Amino acid sequence: MERIEKVVRQARAAFNSGRSRSLEFRIQQLKALERMVKEKEKEILAALHADLHKGGPNAYSHEILGVLAELALTMEKLPSWAAPQPVKKNLMTMRDEAYINFEPLGVVLIIGAWNYPFVLVMHPLIGAIAAGNAVVVKPSEVSENTAQLVADLLPQYLDQELYPVVTGGVPETTELLTQRFDHILYTGNTAVGKIVMAAAAKHLTPVTLELGGKSPCYIDKDCDLAVACRRITWGKYMNCGQTCIAPDYILCDPSIQSQVVENIKATLLVRRESLMLWELSPLQRRSEFLELWLLAGVLSTLFLLSPTILTDVSPDSKVMEEEIFGPVLPIVTVKSVEEAIEFINHREKPLALYVFSNNKKLIKRVISETSSGGVTGNDVIMHFFLSTLPFGGVGHSGMGAYHGKHSFETFSHRRACLIKDLKMEGTNKMRYPPVSQKKVDWTKFILLKRFNRGRIGLAVLALLGVVAAVMMKNHQSVLKRKALLVVLAVQRLGWPSGW
């Protein structure tokens, strides 16, 4: 516990030293991470296999490839992401520099989850390093092999003080959460999400919460059922259903329910041999195992390890209460898309929502009449893989988002910067006391681009003259002098008293 406080203190001191800020340093660290992932591929795959029974090819696709892609993208784009972003100016700030500066926040805490234990720690870490922060990494203790590997590997490749790894369970996490961070990204469930946010509130630490929910999957009658069901089967049963954006349950018309079942069965069959090898991963804890058994209401334990489909499920049953996070797929029948939309809207906003239909209008309708973290139409999971789309939840499924540039921005402070000079003080007269109606009218013109014709017609001309002068950079010095003369003339002419 003392160690945790020390580790965070060291990370902060390391951040305050300023060395994590330069682009060169950040890219160097990201390169080292890339080397780590490539050199230690075997060890990473072994840990994932030990934790989740994830087969080599699967683990590689799901966890390693994504990380390498994110690293490559980030290293390529970082200079442009990190560059100050000029903003549109108004009349008042025409001569000034106005931009958003992207700055590191300080010390970031990343709390990983156990279902994709490597990628869910690495993705945020990449963004946090790219944004110039120090990062304390807390992998999930449930996936203990990956946690231990991350704790062993990161110090071998990265700056040890800036990016420490803290392992442990609830006591260690609780202790960590008493420390002060500048941002916390947590991946996990809603209940712990509330605890994380409450702890963060004590330090006014902003949070990104990647939570879960029951991601609905609506299958329209008008669609290619074979293809739809193959895609759903893939997304549902990968990692034994333990994917935060897995289609949790299906909504479809009763008339196609049995076809849906047949198609899913057929898809599962095709992969049966490989299924035995790598799809059937042991669920994480005995208690979850038992819970799923209860949810499924099925007596045979043998049946439970394999992909399960439930039909004519009642909306009030236990399996429809909480996020399943397992290989059990309930089908709830609905008579229309209206009913489906109503069903979805009666429940908490999910992390993902899926619609299968050839009818684009129907898809757009479902999107516009529901809410979810993200949507994929006519497929599942895939919005996760496009890094230009922000990945995150809404309502109980989370807050904030990341991936790609969104990670960079999540872990940055967007600082508003306005750089003026000390010249042209005359133009500021309108804002200073003593206040008068004339000054107010002038401000009104500047802000609203409207004016009372009679009173400040001349002043408008003067301003336009100044505007033109300022715009023509080639003859800047000459025109500046002329503009100043115009301003002086107007001052002398226009505002004898109230200014």
Other CB atoms within 10 A of residue 460 CB: 15
Contact stretch for its own copies (CB under 8 A) within 27-35, 228-236, 294-302, 394-402: 394-402
Task: State yes or no: residue 468 binds its own copies (CB under 8 A).
Answer: no
Helical spans, DSSP H, in 40-143:
41-52, 56-59, 66-82, 119-130
Phi, psi (degrees; rounded to nearest 5) at 25: -65, -45
Residue 160, CB half-sphere, CA atoms under 13 Å: how many? 4
Report the site for its own copies in 66-105 (rule: CB under 8 A). Answer: 87-90, 92-93, 98, 100-101, 103, 105
Confirm or reject binding of residue 174 to its own copies (CB under 8 A).
no
255 binds its own copies (CB under 8 A): no
8 Å CB contact between 328 and 295: yes
Cα gap 162→16, rounded to integer Å: 10
Residue reference for tokens 């029951």:
214
Active site residue 244: yes
- Closer residue to its own copies (CB): 19 or 89: 89
Q: How far is the CB of 365 from its own copies (least distance, A)?
A: 12
**Binding flag, residue 389, its own copies (CB under 8 A):** yes
Shortest Cβ 148–its own copies spacing (Å): 31
Question: Across-strand partners of 257?
Answer: none
Q: Is 210 one of the catalytic residues?
A: yes
Window contacting its own copies (CB under 8 A); options: 35-43, 197-205, 273-281, 477-485: 197-205
Interface mask toward its own copies for 428-457; x: CB under 8 A: x--xxxxxxx-xx--xx--xx---------
Interhelix angle 23-39/41-52, rounded to 10 degrees, is 70
CB closer to its own copies, 27 vs 382: 382
CB of 198 to its own copies, least distance (A): 4
Q: CA 296 to CA 299: how far, in whole Å?
A: 9
Size of the site for its own copies (CB under 8 A): 74
Tell me the pairing of strands 398-399 and 207-210. Answer: antiparallel
- Residue 6 binds its own copies, judged by CB under 8 A: no
Q: Which stretch binds its own copies (CB under 8 A): 6-14, 327-335, 383-391, 485-493?
A: 383-391
Residues 6 or more apart whose Cβ sits within 8 Å of residue 33: 71, 122, 125, 126, 129, 157, 158
Binding flag, residue 420, its own copies (CB under 8 A): yes
Q: Which of 63, 244, 279, 323 is catalytic?
A: 244
Q: Which residues are catalytic?
A: 210, 244
